[in-house]
Amino acid sequence: MRTSSQRTRIKICGLTREADIDAAVEAGADAVGFVFYERSPRHVRLERAAELARRLPPFVTPVGLFVNATPEQVQAACTAIPHLLLQFHGDESPADCERHGRPYLRAARMAPGFDLLNFAARFATASALLLDAHVEGYGGGGKVFDWSLIPPSVPCPVVLSGGLTPANVTAGILQVRPWAVDVSSGVESAKGIKDAVAIHQFCEAVREADARIADAAGT
C-alpha cells in the first residue's frame, strides 16, 4: 500500500470553525473535510465552507463529503471551492462519482463479508478508497472496524478511517500501512467542535507510526 519511507497523509474531517482549520493546518494536516450532508451534526453550509476553505494555505486540500447529494449540489460545491476533492460516503454509483470530472475518494463501509476487492474494481477510477466502519447514518460514528477485514493487496491507495483517535492511530498505521488516515469524532470535544490539543496529539501519533515504520526498515 505504501513504502516504508513515505509519510502517512492526514485528513481531519467535519470542520466548522476557523479555529479548527487553523489547528489542523498548524498540526500538519494534509487535508480538511467539510460535511455537506444535512443530517450530520457536522453539516456546514456551502457558503460557510467556502469561507473556511479560503483560510487554507497552498498544499492543504479541501475535501467535500457528500451522502447521496444531487449532481447540482456537488457541482455547486465544486464551483464555490476551487480544487475541492470529492468524498462520496453514501450509495453513489461509479457513474455518480465520475460525472463531475474531479478526483474523488469513495467510502467503503467495512463489515464482515464485505467484498472490498470487488468494490475496488467497481470504483477503479477513485483516487483512493476510504475505509470506514459500517454504522447507521453512513459514517462519522466514531466506530472502529476490524482492520483484519482489509485484504493484503488493495489495488489503490487506502485511507484508514472509522473511530481513529490519538490513542489508536499508531496501531492502525502499523497494522494497515495506509496511504492516509482520516479522523472526525476522535479529535472532537463535541460534535462539529474540534479539540486543538487532540488534533495535535493525533498528528504526533501518526508521525510516531511513520518513524517506527522507517526505523524497522532501517531507512
Ligand X SMILES: O=C(O)c1ccccc1N[C@@H]1O[C@H](COP(=O)(O)O)[C@@H](O)[C@H]1O
- Cβ-closest residue to ligand X? 140
Active site annotation includes 156: no
CB of 134 to ligand X, least distance (A): 11
* The three grid cell numbers given for residue 68, joined into one nine-digit string: 447521496
Q: How far is CA 40 from CA 32, 67, 78, 88, in A?
A: 16, 10, 20, 14
Interacting residues with ligand X (CB under 6 A): 13-14, 33, 35, 37, 40, 42, 65, 67, 89, 130, 132, 138-142, 161-164, 182-186
Minimum distance from residue 217 beta carbon to ligand X (Å)? 28
Closer to ligand X by CB, 1 or 214: give it: 1
Active-site hit among 20, 96, 132, 182:
132
Is the distance from CB of 129 to CB of 108 less than 8 angstroms? yes
Torsion of CA 6, 7, 13, 18, to 10 degrees: -130
- Using the minimum distance from each CB to ligand X, give the nearer residue, 172 or 186: 186
d(CA 97, CA 105): 9
| Nearest distance in Å: CB 24, ligand X | 13
Cβ of residue 54: shortest distance to ligand X, in angstroms? 21
Task: For ligand X, give the closer residue by CB, 102 or 214.
Answer: 102
> 81 near 45, Cβ under 8 Å?
no
Strands (DSSP E) found in the chain: 9-13, 31-35, 61-66, 85-88, 104-110, 128-133, 158-160, 180-183, 188-190, 193-194
Q: Are 31 and 10 in contact (CB under 8 A)?
A: yes
Nearer to ligand X, 3 or 48 (CB): 48
Residue positions annotated with a catalytic role: 13, 132
